[in-house]
Amino acid sequence: MRMALNVKHTAVGRACALLSGVALLLGIASVRLSAQEGRFSATLLDAGMIYEQSPFPSCHASTVVCLADGLLAAWFGGTREGHPDVCIYASRKTEGNAWSMPQLIADGIQDDGVRYPCWNPVLFKRDNGDIVLYYKVGASPRKWWGEYKISQDEGRTWSEKREIPRSCLGPVKNKPVRLPTGLILYPTSIEVMGKWNVYMETSAQDLTGWEKIEIDNDGFDAIQPSVLHHEDGSLQILCRSRNKRIVESWSVDNGKTWSKLSATSLPNNNAGTDALTLSNGLQLLVYNPITEGRNRLAVAASKDGKAWEKLIDLENQPAGEFSYPAVIEDKNGIVHVTYTYNREQIKHVTLQITGSPATTK
């Protein structure tokens, strides 16, 4: 059974929340909801939880990557965020099949037996087809360090853990991007007492030669950047901040140097966002379109990374937490978003985005 409805402007959020909720309650396999505001449109094709039961009561910070025949998602789960039993779990979805049961793929147990919580997994497929799982280990974000594992069989098995050089962290929440030189560019940040700071890192494809690239944060408290690339070759990062706005920086030399951070017109509630450049050049952002709370989650589009147009509310509820999105595009042009659902589950939605810079000028 499918439901179709066209809505505009303020009705978008109410219709999305209503239809998504009805679909989940009634067990509808797919919801088709088209929302359009101006030049671009988003159609919600399907929505549901990655798992219904798990060995952990709490979860957060999902990541997702395309496989040859489906998707691989990961997140951290345990008693609660920051508890030593928090590990990295993953689930696979192959074409025509449901998500697999969550499997533990990394923990924070050290060689001396001391156990630390894990944080913020990030999945990335490098040029040779291997999938890299980056994640953080440590008592808190002020003390954590970066580790990674590699899978050569599409996430079925993983190597032993390896440490990222302690001068670097790897991607702190959002996916890396490949530069034209072949280097991997990592959006990252630090959270020290009294100050947050965004910067970038690079490594070779074999994860050697790590280097750090500083950014002038210009008085902003910002973390967790995501990377967009533009037709003219420039790069843009969009970052979470404590300043009520998503903040940005630009590079015109393949990420070697960056402009000072500056505020965008987009609201931010001090929660993570994610962004993606679609294959047609359209820029996409998944964010909480509010400055307080985490009860709304939306998708916006832009042709230039400057003027943004909110397309659809994925969640718009009186209360609850819907946060920390991850967004990718598959080989068929379908957009996949995963995000935290009330710290108890990870939700997965699929979208069809219509409109591109070439057709909307």
Residue 233: pLDDT above 90?
yes
Mean pLDDT over the full length of the chain? 90
The stretch 124-141 carries a mean pLDDT of: 98
Residue 303: per-residue pLDDT: 95
Return d(Cα 344, Cα 349) in angstroms, integer: 16
Residue 20: pLDDT above 60?
no
The stretch 110-120 carries a mean pLDDT of: 97
Residue 73: per-residue pLDDT: 98
Do the bridges between strand 58-67 and strand 6-7 make them parallel or antiparallel, or are there none, so unpaired?
unpaired
pLDDT tens-digit series, residues 247-301: 999 999 999 999 999 999 999 999 999 999 999 999 999 999 999 999 999 999 9
Predicted TM-score of the model (pTM): 0.90
The stretch 3-16 carries a mean pLDDT of: 35
Confidence band of 158 (pLDDT split at 50, 70, 90): very high
Q: What percent of the chain has pLDDT over 70?
A: 88
Return d(Cα 278, Cα 195) in angstroms, integer: 33
The stretch 49-76 carries a mean pLDDT of: 97
The stretch 122-126 carries a mean pLDDT of: 98
Confidence band of 328 (pLDDT split at 50, 70, 90): very high
pLDDT tens-digit series, residues 172-195: 999 999 999 999 999 999 998 889
HSE-CB for 261 with a 13 A CA cutoff:
27
Residue 355: per-residue pLDDT: 82
The first and second tokens of residue 116, run together, are: 């630390």
Residue 1: per-residue pLDDT: 28
**Residues in Cβ contact with 36 at an 8 Å cutoff, skipping those fewer than 6 apart:** 6, 8, 42, 311
